[in-house]
Structure 1
């Protein structure tokens, strides 16, 4: 019998949505981000998707200076692929958002494939008190934000980062984003094999339903044939169920405290590594093997960890 392909686990360690009040496990200091990222890699994550935070307040940061301290530690401690976000702010310009990737030239970075009403304002009503003054207004303010990713923005990011030979994690929040990517691919801004991250369950994007995933996968098959690889991340309670479904459909998976603060319904996760260990156990119990970092590099055609700038 033919061997089943290996499943890549990505761990999104901290993100830019959740705030320190929401979970004591959410890392925001340099030490916390590094420690949790390394533990996630040890638990089975071959890719670490990384955002930065202000180490004093926990507020999301896109300052390259807030990436440098933990990138160096992660590089020294693990062979995991580092994936730097280019979507760490809903209000900054595209050049500001890609500055960390431009500075550190990682093997991978995220690339959002369309604009959307990206909101998490509903979380504000769940908390009576906040650890930091910025949190409540930040969460409530997302109701009025448009996460801008125009064709011009995408082109500018692709052209600026092209010399770095970075593989993009194309984040697909809705079906139209697949057609945006097809257009940009035909224009020569990206090259196959491309890597799709289906994002399910974000308010403003497509819902976290199996039917939606099947439709997105079928559309990607039509547009890209065998020239793509794919993964799924689902927000909140849908995280683990949708990841298991994706793994059984031949896709890869993403977990982490950026996407969900919980390990099971109603129970906060104690760490990113706990989520990674859970999805790894489920994947392996269902007969699939988890990819090592070097296997992930081969599957995604990455440039290699020796060609980064950190």
Structure 2
């Protein structure tokens, strides 16, 4: 396999914010989300980034919802699973970490710093929590996906690498367009990429996403620069201006077509596991 020819395509089907009042197509229950993830896997997605909702469909870290969603997905496909550790604000460290600690997905999110969130509140990821998170992910063989909302978060990751809390080749997800973080401009993505290169050379992998109207420019720029990408209703509910996406599959299929046009190939889940060096490989699908 030529790693440079492969594009890891992550789909984030649900997220923490869209409601049925925003779009009737967003999957919210474990069954809805699992069905959507399987459809996206069948369409070619490499990784599923999973959030869950409570019974009122609000952002949640409800362990039972995660367990049900993972069980339903694993019974039907072998897509790489990436569980969020940030499905709500003001939660205890233990609640945030329990899903990946007990369910042992291949990956989980590691939001690499504290930030003002949506100009309304604080999204806290304290040094105490990040050190605890790094240690626990290492113990569980869960690869962290470092969510980077601004450049300082890259330096946080480098700090923990120097301390020996993070080992191996890091994988960064550049999250652009979140209110309170860097805007979804291509020049910002390039700055983050250059910062990683200046400090790590080629010893990292990276992906990018643009929230809302920044969705397509960031995807196309990331593909042009040889990166990986994330799509899905967590980040954007519109297929094009004024037109709601009727399924996350539409986003997956568009990227797959674009990738083919530039003579690259969307990575299969097993290829993704090799590229990222993932350890928690699931049992064969029944």
For normalisation by structure 1, the TM-score amounts to 0.88
Cα distance change, pair 21–3 in 1 and its aligned pair in 2 (3 A): closer
Verify: 1:42 aligned to 2:45, yes or no: no
**Alignment-derived partner of residue 8 in structure 1:** 8
Runs of at least 5 residues in structure 1 that lack an aligned partner in the other structure: 120-142
What residue is the counterpart of 1:109 in the other structure? 108
1:164 corresponds in structure 2 to: 140
Distance 1:271 1:98 in 2: 29
User: What per-residue deviation string (whole Å, max 9, x for no partner) do you get for residues 209-261 of structure 1?
Assistant: 11111111000001112221000011012112211210110110000110111
Partners of 1:220 and 1:181 lie apart in 2 by 10
Q: Report the secondary structure of 2:7's partner residue.
A: coil
Task: Please list, as runs of the form range in 1=range in 2, the aligned pairs for 1:161-240 lying within 5 A after superposition.
Answer: 161-240=137-216
Measured in 1, the distance between the counterparts of 2:155 and 2:4 equals 29
Note if 1:28 corresponds to 2:28: yes
- 1:71 to partner: Cα distance: 0.9
Deviant stretches of 4+, over 4 Å: none
String of CA shifts for 1:138-183, please: whole Å, max 9, x gaps. xxxxx43100012111001112232211111100000111111100
Contact 1:79 1:305 in 2 (8 A): no
Q: How does 1:139-150 map to 2 (within 5 A)?
A: 143-150=119-126
Alignment of 1:215-294 (within 5 A): 215-294=191-270
Which digits, 9 at most, give the CA deviation of each residue in 1:52-94, with x for residues without a partner? Answer: 112x421122011111222111111111100000111122122
Aligned to 2:278: 302
- Of 17-26 and 27-36, more deviation after overlay is shown by 17-26
1:240–1:255 CA contact under 8 A, matched in 2: no
What RMSD over aligned residues (CA atoms) do the two structures have, in Å?
A: 1.6
Taking structure 1 as reference, are residues 286 and 112 closer, same or farther at Cα in structure 2, changes over 3 Å only? same
Q: What CA deviation, in whole Å up to 9, does each residue of 1:182-221 have, x standing for no partner?
A: 0011111111211000010100000111111111100000
Distance 1:299 1:287 in 2: 18
Structure 2 CA distance for aligned equivalents of residues 77 and 285 of structure 1 = 30
* 3-state secondary structure, aligned to 1:83: strand
Aligned-partner SS, 1:89: coil
Q: Which residue does the alignment assign to 2:86?
A: 87
Q: Return the alpha-carbon distance in structure 2 between the equivalents of residues 245 and 166 of structure 1.
A: 29
2:19 is matched with which residue? 19
Mean Cα displacement is larger for which, 19-28 or 91-100?
A: 91-100
Q: How many angstroms apart in 2 are the aligned matches of 1:229 and 1:16?
A: 25
Distance in 2 of aligned mates of 1:90 and 1:196: 22
1:95–1:157 CA contact under 8 A, matched in 2: no
